[in-house]
């Protein structure tokens, strides 16, 4: 992979270098029952035409352009075209609440909007405020994406040097992407990422951790491009010259995995947890011997890898059980999921529980974990396959410096650190102190330079007994249970922690021998279900400190969701929203007698 270096660190330079190599499958997406490829030449031509078309429409270099769409090839073309034109990309999640969409468009002063469908545009028009011009991927009029590309092609015929002139004005320090944090509390903040930020992070992280990903390797993208994690990965994949398959919908992931058989995929812990829950759930639904065998096999694989990776002696009994589990269950999982060619998964955006990683490793599926907030473009550190240290997020990527403050906070310096928050000097000053970016995360660096993230500084709460509780630590312990999909722990100024629980209803029904037709809403009201789950939570938290142990739970009938407003688009719990939504139940929980 050719490096363009910091002196020429602009995304157009990276894009042109990446797409200059002829490649038939630069981008591939599903069309009907098959896949449709776009060559590197076609991708570059469309992006150049779009850039020229936006200029011809009247946009000026430096103008912000909002991009609202699920993952698809047109999203990538739009992103590249905006950058080649010297504009600034403002990615917006298509699932984002309309009031936040309006805020982002207005705060960013976007001069145009690119959106996927007429239906999505109609939803946008329900905003009771003036909007900039809207261009629609799937429209057929003069405001369609194709029409703007045709307009740009005509402009380039009249003036063949138009692209070179606009790109020559772009400097590494110029703003490239204005991305708004998902806003787990309050209004989102606009994170200003420069061309240097993103070219540096792309090159440094890929050269450090993904160097042996070779041209023509198939990779699969499932995370939203609107999140900076997959956004940056997109640039890296284009630079590597891989066969880049785009999954349109996470619900189609298993199907796409089987068809693509990728060598690499980036994801978040929640998706790994869903995959494992799906394996167990399918076995439970089959019933009979497999209903016991598959969960047993996964647990044996987990325990074996915990002992092996943890450097503990693996007993003869555990080795024997693992041999049986591998023969009957574990060795079949990789090919069944389309992972027979997989080199490794990459996990980021949220902490990966060690139990999840060890369960996957027991089935021969390696996961390397990285770390970095949006403000760091978004990589601070990442593991590598050749020296992966589970339970850590790897070493800082070359060019990035990390230190731990006296209070345990992770501080960062490097070309990956943002310019600041857009129109928000106070928030910028709060996190940029003494030349260091303050992440708000608590962590440690070991003697070998591996970074471990232990919690969010702002999420710690103090019980009425004066004890500080790290909710993520307790939630991770609870989610070790196969019967629990989600957990949110709370207890600020309360006598002890409690938790909201979203169960895996299929497994709960199977374990309690309940009829499959009973809905989650009805199950959540049953005392036997509540008692079973409360006992499960107590068991899973029993090895924590006494002040961390969960004493009471609220059983939810359904999972927290993006659509319901309880999760951010990257599947992080919006704690303030959830606590407000369930305020009455939480109050009643603590008022009830023990």
pLDDT tens-digit profile of 343-383? 999 999 888 889 899 999 999 999 999 999 999 999 999 99
Number of domains in the chain: 3
Q: Looking at 495-582, list the stretches that DSSP marks H as alpha helix, in order from N- to C-terminal side.
A: 505-511, 520-523, 527-541, 575-581
Helix H or strand E encompassing 328: helix 316-328
Q: Which CATH number do you get for residue 466?
A: 3.30.300.30
SS3 state at 492: coil
Distance CA 584, CA 529 (A): 21
Residue 264 has pLDDT above 90, yes or no: yes
Q: Which CATH number do you get for residue 148?
A: 3.40.50.12780
CB 302 within 8 A of CB 355: yes
Mean of the per-residue pLDDT values of the chain:
92
Query: CA of 76: how far to CAs of 38, 71, 272, in Å?
Result: 11, 8, 25
**Tokens 């160097």 sit at which residue?**
211
CA contacts within 13 A on the Cβ side of 572 = 20
Q: Are residues 292 and 234 in the same domain?
A: no
Helices (H) and strands (E) in the chain, counts: 22, 26
Tell me, yes or no, whether 264 lies in a domain: no
SS3 state at 220: strand
Tokens describing residue 484: 């629990």
pLDDT of residue 213: 86
More confident: 53 or 281: 53
More confident: 579 or 149: 149
Query: CA of 59: how far to CAs of 76, 86, 132, in Å?
Result: 20, 10, 11
CA 488 to chain centre: 19
Residue 81 has pLDDT above 50, yes or no: yes
Tokens describing residue 533: 């789950």
pLDDT of residue 281: 82
Tokens describing residue 248: 């349109």
265 - beta bridge partners?
Answer: 220, 345
Q: Percentage of residues in the chain with pLDDT exceeding 90?
A: 70
Tell me, yes or no, whether 539 lies in a domain: yes
pLDDT of residue 184: 46
Q: Are residues 49 and 185 in the same domain?
A: yes
Give phi and psi for 427, each to the nearest 5: -65, -35
Residue 277 has pLDDT above 70, yes or no: yes
Q: pLDDT tens, 546-571?
A: 888 998 999 999 999 888 888 877 77
pLDDT of residue 289: 86
pLDDT band at 5 (very low <50, low <70, confident <90, very high): low
Q: Looking at 169-315, list the stretches that DSSP marks H as alpha helix, in order from N- to C-terminal side.
A: 195-209, 228-240, 253-260, 269-286, 290-309
DSSP tag of 102 = H
CA contacts within 13 A on the Cβ side of 264 = 26
CB 475 within 8 A of CB 549: no
Tokens describing residue 411: 């501080």
Tokens describing residue 311: 């450097």
Distance CA 48, CA 43 (A): 9
Q: Are residues 341 and 357 in the same domain?
A: yes
Strands 27-31 and 243-246: parallel
pLDDT band at 186 (very low <50, low <70, confident <90, very high): low
Tell me, yes or no, whether 149 lies in a domain: yes
Candidate from 30-34, 318-322, 476-480 with smallest mean pLDDT? 30-34
Q: Are residues 411 and 378 in the same domain?
A: yes
Task: Tell me which residue of 243, 362, 395, 221 sits closest to 294, measured CA to CA.
Answer: 362
pLDDT band at 302 (very low <50, low <70, confident <90, very high): very high
Q: Are residues 300 and 387 in the same domain?
A: yes
**Tokens 């269950």 sit at which residue?**
329
Q: pLDDT tens, 129-179?
A: 899 999 999 998 889 999 999 999 999 999 999 988 999 999 999 999 999
Candidate from 1-10, 158-167, 381-390, 536-545 with smallest mean pLDDT? 1-10
What contacts 500, CB < 8 A, 6 or more positions away?
Answer: 486, 487, 488, 490, 553, 554, 556, 560, 578, 582
Tell me, yes or no, whether 261 lies in a domain: no
SS3 state at 210: coil
Strands 498-503 and 367-371: unpaired
Tell me, yes or no, whether 355 lies in a domain: yes
Q: Percentage of residues in the chain with pLDDT exceeding 70?
A: 97
Indicate the pTM of the whole model: 0.85
Tell me, yes or no, whether 124 lies in a domain: yes
pLDDT of residue 387: 94
Q: Are residues 231 and 96 in the same domain?
A: yes
SS3 content of the chain, % helix, strand, coil (to 5): 45, 20, 35
- Cis-peptide into 378, omega within 30 deg: yes
CB 137 within 8 A of CB 116: yes
Tell me, yes or no, whether 293 lies in a domain: yes
Rounded average pLDDT over 497-506? 92
Distance CA 345, CA 339 (A): 10
Q: Are residues 297 and 381 in the same domain?
A: yes
CA contacts within 13 A on the Cβ side of 495 = 9
Q: pLDDT tens, 201-254?
A: 999 999 999 888 888 899 999 999 999 999 999 999 999 999 999 999 888 898
Q: Are residues 431 and 579 in the same domain?
A: no
pLDDT of residue 221: 95
Tokens describing residue 270: 């929640």
Q: Are residues 364 and 482 in the same domain?
A: no
Q: Are residues 177 and 229 in the same domain?
A: yes
Residue 182 has pLDDT above 70, yes or no: no
Domain around 134? 6-211+223-256
pLDDT of residue 56: 95
Q: Are residues 191 and 285 in the same domain?
A: no
Q: Are residues 21 and 163 in the same domain?
A: yes
DSSP tag of 479 = T
Q: pLDDT tens, 421-468?
A: 999 999 999 999 999 999 999 999 999 999 999 887 777 787 877 787
pLDDT of residue 303: 96
Tokens describing residue 246: 């785009």
pLDDT band at 69 (very low <50, low <70, confident <90, very high): very high
pLDDT of residue 188: 86
CA contacts within 13 A on the Cβ side of 168 = 5
pLDDT of residue 361: 97
Tell me, yes or no, whether 1 lies in a domain: no
Task: Tell me which residue of 488, 499, 478, 470 sits closest to 543, measured CA to CA.
Answer: 478
pLDDT of residue 194: 98
């Amino acid at each position: 992979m050719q490096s363009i270096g910091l002196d020429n660190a602009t995304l157009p330079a990276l894009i042109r270098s990446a797409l200059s190599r002829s490649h038939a499958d630069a981008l591939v997406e599903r069309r009907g029952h098959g896949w449709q490829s776009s060559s590197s030449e076609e991708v570059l031509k469309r992006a150049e035409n779009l850039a020229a078309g936006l200029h011809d429409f009247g946009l000026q270099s430096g103008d912000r352009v909002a991009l609202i769409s699920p993952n698809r090839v047109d999203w990538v073309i739009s992103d590249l075209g905006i950058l080649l034109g010297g504009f600034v990309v403002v990615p917006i999640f298509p699932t984002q609440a309309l009031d936040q969409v309006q805020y982002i468009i207005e705060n960013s002063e976007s001069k145009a909007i690119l959106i996927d469908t007429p239906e999505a545009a109609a939803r946008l028009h329900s905003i009771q405020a003036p909007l900039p011009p809207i261009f629609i991927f799937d429209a057929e009029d003069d405001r369609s994406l194709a029409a703007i590309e045709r307009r740009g092609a005509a402009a380039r015929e009249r003036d063949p040097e138009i692209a070179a002139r606009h790109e020559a004005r772009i400097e590494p320090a110029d703003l490239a992407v204005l991305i708004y944090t998902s806003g787990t509390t309050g209004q989102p903040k606009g994170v200003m990422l420069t061309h240097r930020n993103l070219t540096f992070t792309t090159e440094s992280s890929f050269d450090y951790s993904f160097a042996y990903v070779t041209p023509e390797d198939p990779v699969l993208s499932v995370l939203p491009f609107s999140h900076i994690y997959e956004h940056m990965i997109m640039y890296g994949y284009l630079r590597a010259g891989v066969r880049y398959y785009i999954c349109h919908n996470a619900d189609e992931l298993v199907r796409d995995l089987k068809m693509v058989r990728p060598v690499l995929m980036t994801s978040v812990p929640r998706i790994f947890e869903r995959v494992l829950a799906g394996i167990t759930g399918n076995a439970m639904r089959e019933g009979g011997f497999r209903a016991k065998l598959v969960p047993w096999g996964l647990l044996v694989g987990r325990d074996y890898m915990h002992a092996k990776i943890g450097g503990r002696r693996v007993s003869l009994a555990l080795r024997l059980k693992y041999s049986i589990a591998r023969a009957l269950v574990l060795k079949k999982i990789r090919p069944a999921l389309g992972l027979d060619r997989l080199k490794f998964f990459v996990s980021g955006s949220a902490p990966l529980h060690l139990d999840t990683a060890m369960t996957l490793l027991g089935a021969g599926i390696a996961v390397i974990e990285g770390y970095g907030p949006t403000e760091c473009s978004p990589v601070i550190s990442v593991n590598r396959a050749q020296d992966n240290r589970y339970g850590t997020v790897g070493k800082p990527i070359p060019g990035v410096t990390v230190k731990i403050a006296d209070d345990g906070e992770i501080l960062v310096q490097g070309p990956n650190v943002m310019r600041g928050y857009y129109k928000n000097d106070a928030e910028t000053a709060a996190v940029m102190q003494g030349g260091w970016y303050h992440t708000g995360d608590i962590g440690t660096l070991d003697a070998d330079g591996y970074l471990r993230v232990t919690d969010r500084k702002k999420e710690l709460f103090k019980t009425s007994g004066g004890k500080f509780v790290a909710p993520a630590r307790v939630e991770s312990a609870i989610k070790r249970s196969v019967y629990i999909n989600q957990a949110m722990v709370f207890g600020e100024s309360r006598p002890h922690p409690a938790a909201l629980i979203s169960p895996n209803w299929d497994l709960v029904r199977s374990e309690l021998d309940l009829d499959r037709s009973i809905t989650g809403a009805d199950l959540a009201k049953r005392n036997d279900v509540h008692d079973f789950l409360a006992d499960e939570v107590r068991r899973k938290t029993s090895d924590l400190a006494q002040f961390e142990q969960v004493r009471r739970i609220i059983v939810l009938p359904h999972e927290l969701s993006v659509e319901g407003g309880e999760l951010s688009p990257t599947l992080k719990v919006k704690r303030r929203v959830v606590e407000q939504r369930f305020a009455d139940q939480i109050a009643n929980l603590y008022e009830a007698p023990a």
